[in-house]
Structure 1
Amino acid sequence: MSDFEGLRALVTGGASGIGRATAHLLAERGARVAVLDLDTATVDRPLLGHRADVTDDTAVRRAVSAAAADLGGLDVLVNNAGIGARGTVEDNDDAEWHRVLDVNVVGMVRVARAALPHLRRSSHAAVVNTCSIAATAGLPQRALYSATKGAVYSLTLAMAADHVHEGIRVNCVNPGTADTPWIGRLLDAADDPAAERAALEARQPTGRLVTAAEVAGAIAYLASPLSGATTGTALAVDGGMQGLRPRPAAR
């Protein structure tokens, strides 16, 4: 496909996991792509790397401006940078709540705020926020993480309403448990990594983890000019976790 031919895209958190898969997919489909990440050492051509911490507004504005200058403008923003958190409401102190909210929610706000002047000059402007199944389903031991992703879901709808008349589409993708470096680290820290992986796989009706490439495909769909009538939408990529209630397979 070449639906992104001539378009310019910025992917935050694009050096690994879902962000990396998305950046490469957009490039394969014709876009010029810049990546914004804390560490861009692994970012290779044709991607352009820009270092920034999404909790630093000055650094974000500088990096977004530099990326737009390198690309010659900006048509697509993939707001993907984020961090995880485990535990119930009792397990994380105020400092950790502020830290994760600052990255996962306010970080998206900072990047979007810096990108909007560039997006307004595009004829195919699109923003895709990486949300989560945790925004719409109650998951155990994910109170803080779920709160941030619930905020991302609401933020997506509000942004879509605010900017629809400017020709800027805003959507989000809601992955289930994806096979990413963060999940890999959680599994490594578990008492029984194999049993923990099996439990995560079993709670998704497809019986397996979502791949980064599958989430990237959904992000590309939402960002593509071919989806010009799609805005204010949350697209689940969760192996049926949100909507399906299958009966156990017959033995």
Structure 2
Amino acid sequence: MRFTGKVVIITGSGAGIGQAAAVAFAREGAKVVVNSVTEKSGAETLALVEKQGGEGIYVQGDVSKSEDVKKIVAATIGRFGTVDVLVNVAGIVIAGRADNTREEDWDKMMDVNAKGTFMMIREVLPCMLEKHHGSIVNIASIAAQKGLKDRFAYSASKGAVLSMSHSLAAEYVDQGIRCNVVCPGTILTPSLQYRIDHAENPEAMKADFFARQPIGRLGKPEEVAEAILFAADDAAGFMTSAVVSINGGMII
């Protein structure tokens, strides 16, 4: 129960990596703030948190909207009085190359993946600075570390997350706030499964995803969740600006 009494906000926790992280934090005693754009998925995650014996709330919100970001943090402090850990999972991926990426798709990924991460950080910082303690874990991607085909704008948005994380860690290292990054490889989340199922050739797409994982399989959300917990834990208190890559051997 290493997070007993800790208050943890997890954006994008309605499914996949975010949901797995919410369940894992609850299992370790945390008070979990579940966030999702979709109320149904948020309620499902909250039910899983409570099934673990954890205490939590669900706050609907789109992290690309400043008013929603303020709502998420205000609801957290209103219920629990503080924020100890922020995990920025919320993100979207739209395939595309430099020559065929639409401007609106670029803007959407930057708004959610990069700006959403920034605004959540900005909103929780006053609380963390006041008590001189806090842990921020940002979810970037293998795409921020390695060139991937058909992921031009997505790579740019996750590269921004990686860079801002290093800057944040340097800025607040002497004020009790740590910031670390988790970079997943290809993880079999519900959204990825949906893309495979609705592809023109599902078997070919699945084979392509498997082929780029030297370990021979796709990752599990629960495996990424364990890395998130490690990075967030006070037991890793000497670790900041670190990049934990859960990539199945895509970078060796």
Do both share a fold (TM > 0.5)?
Answer: yes
5+ unaligned residues in a row in structure 2: which ranges? none
Question: Larger deviation: 36-45 or 155-164?
Answer: 36-45
Instruction: State whether structure 2 residue 27 is matched by structure 1 residue 28.
Output: yes
> Could you give the per-residue CA deviations for residues 2-61 of structure 1, whole angstroms, max 9, x where no partner exists?
111111100000111100000110110111110122123323234310011111101211
Question: Larger deviation: 179-188 or 233-242?
Answer: 179-188
Query: How many residues are aligned here?
Result: 242
Structure 1 pair 27–123 and aligned structure 2 pair: CA distance change class (3 A): farther
Instruction: State whether structure 2 residue 74 is matched by structure 1 residue 65.
Output: yes
Q: Which residue does 1:230 correspond to in 2?
A: 239
Retained in 2: the 8 A contact 1:9–1:75?
yes
**Aligned equivalents of 2:35 and 2:76: distance in 1?**
8
Give the deviation of 1:195 after TM superposition: 2.5
Question: Residues 174-185 of structure 1 correspond to what in structure 2 (within 5 A)?
Answer: 174-185=183-194
Q: Kindly report the root-mean-square deviation, in angstroms, between the aligned alpha carbons of the 2 structures.
A: 1.3
- SS across alignment from 1:117: helix
Q: Which residue does 1:4 correspond to in 2?
A: 3
Q: Could you state the TM-score of these two structures normalised by the residue count of structure 2?
A: 0.92
**Aligned equivalents of 1:52 and 1:75: distance in 2?**
20
**Aligned equivalents of 1:196 and 1:99: distance in 2?**
24
Equivalent residue for 1:55, pick from 50, 64, 85: 64
5+ unaligned residues in a row in structure 1: which ranges? 244-251
Equivalent residue for 2:173, pick from 164, 168, 173: 164
Give the deviation of 1:79 after TM superposition: 0.7
Retained in 1: the 8 A contact 2:133–2:175?
no
Instruction: State whether structure 2 residue 133 is matched by structure 1 residue 133.
Output: no
Retained in 1: the 8 A contact 2:132–2:175?
no
Q: Percent identity?
A: 38
Retained in 2: the 8 A contact 1:172–1:235?
yes
> Could you give the per-residue CA deviations for residues 217-251 of structure 1, whole angstroms, max 9, x where no partner exists?
000000001100000011000111112xxxxxxxx
Q: Which amino acid aligns with 1:89?
A: A
Equivalent residue for 1:209, pick from 214, 218, 221: 218
Question: Larger deviation: 56-65 or 38-47?
Answer: 38-47
Give the deviation of 1:124 after TM superposition: 4.6
